[in-house]
């Protein structure tokens, strides 16, 4: 089995590691001249972390990550709505089997790439065309043929477009402002070691610690009526986000005002696809199911995809891999569609008007139970059960 992976991000590299573990040959083709991803940091929940630990990355991952002490949800004035212990008392790992981490993307990509043959990571290979017989064509004039092509090339997937899988991008009606701020510049921040949501009418702020608690990674989200730019990101005045959160708790104001350069991101997801594979080509991660960031599941669902797909490819018939791709498709598509819907619902809940605050606060109190189906999921175990004909649970 020869596998060509388009995209050297978290999904593509995780798949490469998972396939190597099973003795499957894979080449990774990355369009950039170095391994990097958009965005500064990523939150990894237990459903993603457990798969990386199975690949022998647990110790290395823990060394570059920060475990939040708790999950706090607050009103815009700082009033605490609910607080759930996480790393504190080892509550979260005991509940879900693995830790919850905040980690910078660059060291995460380096960790994933370390165990791969460097001769099989091909940089500066931008996909220009793909065909369902397993052929990739690149901007540099070269081609690759494989028994299976995996499109792990992100939300703007060139492979998905070339084969017309569909999936229209949907603007969520929100824009995001991202930033990294030294914790020393946010003196008013209560419990800086926690992952926290601050909720208000038409806007919210999420942040969590990275760099051993020395840095806060934040995403500030604001409702907007329209997005005119063809690009999904555009530069803006750093004071724009500060104005949007004027009058909020001092810690919020300190955080959003601390960035010297800023950009606004139009937050999109995609309509669920009717299929994830065509011939010898299959989709993975954002190429298959781009989702809003409000459940922190983009990277984690991508890691789940990689873990599941590796199981199915390892047992596939090289001459006819389509049945294995179909099993992966059926296993993963229903779950990721459900996570997409929950991500959409989350922002609606966070942004309710003042007359619905009591309803919102009650819903937040039920979060640990409500989200167990996400964080407690075992993607690899489910794929192995499917492979042996026991497919009772896909949730």
Residue 228 main-chain phi, psi, to 5 deg:
-90, -25
- β-pairing, 215-223 vs 233-236, is unpaired
Query: 100-127 b/e with 16+ CB inside 10 Å = b?
Result: bbbbbbebbbebbbeebeeeebbeebeb
Whole-angstrom distance, CA of residue 41 vs CA of residue 115: 21
Closest CA to 263 of 229, 296, 295: 229
3-state class (DSSP) for residue 318:
coil
Q: Which residues, at least 6 apart from 161, have a Cβ–Cβ distance to it below 8 Å?
A: none
Q: Which of 100, 101, 177, 208 is catalytic?
A: 208
Number of C-beta neighbours around residue 141 at 10 A: 7
167, 160 in Cβ contact below 8 A?
yes
Q: How far is CA 143 from the centre of its chain?
A: 29
177 is catalytic: no
Q: What is the DSSP letter of 316?
A: S
Whole-angstrom distance, CA of residue 193 vs CA of residue 214: 9
Closest CA to 271 of 347, 333, 213: 333
3-state class (DSSP) for residue 235:
strand
Query: 246-269 b/e with 16+ CB inside 10 Å = b?
Result: eebbebbbbbbbbbeebbbbbbbb
150, 309 in Cβ contact below 8 A?
yes
What positions carry a catalytic annotation? 208
């Amino acid at each position: 089995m020869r596998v060509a992976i388009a995209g050297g991000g978290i999904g593509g590299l995780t798949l490469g590691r998972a396939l190597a573990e099973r003795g499957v040959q894979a080449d990774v083709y990355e369009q950039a001249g170095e391994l990097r991803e958009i965005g500064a940091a990523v939150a990894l929940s237990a459903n993603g972390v457990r798969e990386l630990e199975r690949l022998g990355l647990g110790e290395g991952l823990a060394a570059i990550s920060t475990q939040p002490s708790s999950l706090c949800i607050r009103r815009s004035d700082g009033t605490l709505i609910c607080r759930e212990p996480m790393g504190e008392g080892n509550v979260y790992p005991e509940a879900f089997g693995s830790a919850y981490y905040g980690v910078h993307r660059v060291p995460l990509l380096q960790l994933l790439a370390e165990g791969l043959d460097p001769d099989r990571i091909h940089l500066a290979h931008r996909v220009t065309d793909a065909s369902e017989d397993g052929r990739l064509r690149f901007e540099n004039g070269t081609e690759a043929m494989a028994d299976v092509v995996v499109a792990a090339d992100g939300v703007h997937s060139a492979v998905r477009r070339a084969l017309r899988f569909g999936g229209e991008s949907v603007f969520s009606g929100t824009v995001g402002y991202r930033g990294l701020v030294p914790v020393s510049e946010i003196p008013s921040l209560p419990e800086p070691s926690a992952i926290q949501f601050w909720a208000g009418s038409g806007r919210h702020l999420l942040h969590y610690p990275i760099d051993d608690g020395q840095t806060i990674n934040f995403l500030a989200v604001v409702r907007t009526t329209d997005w005119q730019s063809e690009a999904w990101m555009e530069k803006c005045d750093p004071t724009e986000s500060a104005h949007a959160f004027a009058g909020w708790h001092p810690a919020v104001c300190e955080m959003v005002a601390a960035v010297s350069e800023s950009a606004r991101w139009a937050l999109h997801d995609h309509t669920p696809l009717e299929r994830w594979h065509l011939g010898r080509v299959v989709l993975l991660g954002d190429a298959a199911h781009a989702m809003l960031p409000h459940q922190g599941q983009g990277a984690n669902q991508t890691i789940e995809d990689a873990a599941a797909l590796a199981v199915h490819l390892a047992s596939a018939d090289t001459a006819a891999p389509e049945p294995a791709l179909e099993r992966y498709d059926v296993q993963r598509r229903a779950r990721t569609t459900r996570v997409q819907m929950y991500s959409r619902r989350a922002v609606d809940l966070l942004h309710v008007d003042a007359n619905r605050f009591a309803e919102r606060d009650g819903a937040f109190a039920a979060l640990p139970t409500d989200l167990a189906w996400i964080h407690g999921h075992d993607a690899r175990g489910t794929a192995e059960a499917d492979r042996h004909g026991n497919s009772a649970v896909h949730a």
